[in-house]
A and B are shown apart, each in its own frame.
Chain A
Amino acid sequence: EVQLVESGGGLVQPGGSLKLSCVASGFTFTIYPMSWVRQAPGKGLEWIAAISGVTGMTYYADSVKDRFTISRDNSKNTIYLHLNSLRAEDTAVYFCAREGITVASFDYWGQGSLVTVSS
Chain B
Amino acid sequence: DIVMTQSPLFLPVTPGEPASISCRSSESLLHINGYNYLDWYLQRPGQSPQLLIYMGSNRASGVSDRFSGSGSGTDFTLKISNVEPEDVGVYYCMQALQTVITFGQGTRLDIK
Identify the A interface with B (CB < 8 A): 35, 37, 44-47, 50, 59, 61-62, 95, 100, 103-107, 109-112
Contacts and interface: CB of A to CB of B under 8 A. Distances in A.
Nearest to B40: A105
Contacts of A104: 37, 96-97
A103 to B, nearest CB: 5
B106 A44 contact: yes
A111 B48 contact: yes
B48 A45 contact: no
Given A95-B48, A106-B39, A109-B50, A45 B103 contact: yes
Contact of B101 (A44, A50, A100, A111): A50
B60 A107 contact: yes
Contacts of A47: 94, 100-103
B49 interface: yes
Nearest to B6: A44
A61 B42 CA distance: 22
